[in-house]
Amino acid sequence: MKRIGIIGASGFTGAELLRICANHPEFQVQTAAADSMSGTKVSDLYPGLAAEYEELVFSPTDPDVFSNCDLVFLCLPHGASQELVPELIDKVACLVDLGADYRLKNKDLYPLWYDEPHLNPELLSEFSYGLPELFRDEIKESNLISVPGCFPTAAVLALNPFTESESIEKSGLIVDAATGVSGAGRAPKDNTTFCAVDENYTAYGLLNHRHTPEIEQVLSEKASDEVSVLFTPHLAPMTRGILATCYARPIKDMDTDFALEVLDSYYSEEPFVVVDERSPSTKATFGSNAVHLTARVDPRTGHLIVISAIDNLGKGASGGAVQCANLSLGIPEMTGLTAAGVTP
């Protein structure tokens, strides 16, 4: 049994980790830290977890408390992990960071996209990028893992088979993606109240969303060439889910059957990837660690369209984090996870 710690456990990704860990045969949560909720019972904040965590109480974030853990998940806002990782790195065998602090490999991108320099840039190269479908071998050999953002997970899994195979133009890719309100976190915000979100649909982060350089970084690395992306996120009136619609220009003869075969061939051995002619829906991935993909080629305009759907808290965050943790700890990759969504 692996002893698990969660820092930032009171947020939505922390709560999802607690839910997944409760059904994981190899994981036992030892400590759930959350400074803002310190002293509160997990079951009081999240009654849905009461059957599994009736007595567990959120604790203060003290790095020394986690020295008895085999693995620690960090579910913190940007900047917070940078302060904790140097203190934890010698205390814990494996760290899995769900935040953005160690995703970008170029330290110069942090002031541009996150408005402040990185506190320990020497550690950026030590973290593996936690997308098993693309970096499984690296994750298996790593004890420091940075889980992708939810939007990059959806966009990269959709586009990478085409950029890596040099089937499409690598500049001017377009990603339009809609997310559920849980992507904004548990803290109340004016634009995420019920009245603001209900019957509303809005674009945000125009031209400057922080996930843009992450999408470009991963696609460029796998393609061994520079890839540029115009990314526009949208907030949809739903709790969970991401639907990403990606547009590209083919540079090879391509029709819809060929595009679907590219996806199907690339992900044929992947347990959490569903490729189908059906148009993906967020509801189909609800509560799962799956990504659903499809593709179309429009002969009239000459565009390739690739669509992906994920649960932003599942494959897009906590589910992906557990998938990476399993690989790093030598546990079968699918342990504790499901590819089946909740229906209805």
Question: pLDDT, tens digit, for every residue of 22-42?
Answer: 999 999 999 999 999 999 999
Residue 54: its pLDDT value, please? 92
**Nearest residue to 271 (alpha-carbon basis) of 342, 222, 344, 332:** 332
Residue ranges of domains in the chain: 2-126, 150-312
Q: pLDDT tens digits for the chain (344 residues)? A: 999 999 999 999 999 999 999 999 999 999 999 999 999 999 999 999 999 999 999 999 999 999 889 999 999 999 999 999 999 999 999 999 999 999 999 999 999 999 999 999 999 999 999 999 999 999 999 999 999 999 999 999 999 999 999 999 999 999 999 999 998 888 878 888 888 888 999 999 999 999 999 999 999 999 999 999 999 999 999 999 999 999 999 998 999 999 999 999 999 999 999 999 999 999 999 999 999 999 999 999 999 999 999 999 999 999 999 999 999 999 999 999 999 999 88
Residue 192: its pLDDT value, please? 86
Residue 218: its pLDDT value, please? 98
Q: What's 148's DSSP letter?
A: P
User: Do 320 and 130 meet the contact criterion of CB atoms below 8 Å apart?
Assistant: yes
Residue 189: its pLDDT value, please? 84
User: For the purposes of burial, counting CB atoms within 10 Å of the CB of 315, is it exposed (0-12), middle (13-18) or buried (19 or more)?
Assistant: buried
**Nearest residue to 230 (alpha-carbon basis) of 213, 250, 252:** 213
Q: Rounded to whole angstroms, what are the CA distances from 228 to 87, 112, 114, 147, 178?
A: 36, 16, 19, 21, 20
Locate 153 and state its tokens.
């997970």
Q: Residue 150 catalytic?
A: yes
Residue 115: its pLDDT value, please? 92
Residue 310: its pLDDT value, please? 98
User: Do 105 and 122 meet the contact criterion of CB atoms below 8 Å apart?
Assistant: no
* Catalytic residue from among 150, 195, 246, 324: 150
User: Do 159 and 219 meet the contact criterion of CB atoms below 8 Å apart?
Assistant: yes
Please identify, in words, the CATH class of the domain defined by 150-312: alpha beta
Q: What is the CATH number of domain 2-126?
A: 3.40.50.720
* Cα distance between residue 150 and residue 65, in whole Å: 29
Within 13 Å and on the Cβ side, how many CA atoms surround 12? 18
Residue 171: its pLDDT value, please? 95
* Cα distance between residue 252 and residue 229, in whole Å: 20
Residue 292: its pLDDT value, please? 98
Residue 186: its pLDDT value, please? 84
pLDDT digits (tens, 9 = 90+) for 34-64: 999 999 999 999 999 999 999 999 999 999 9
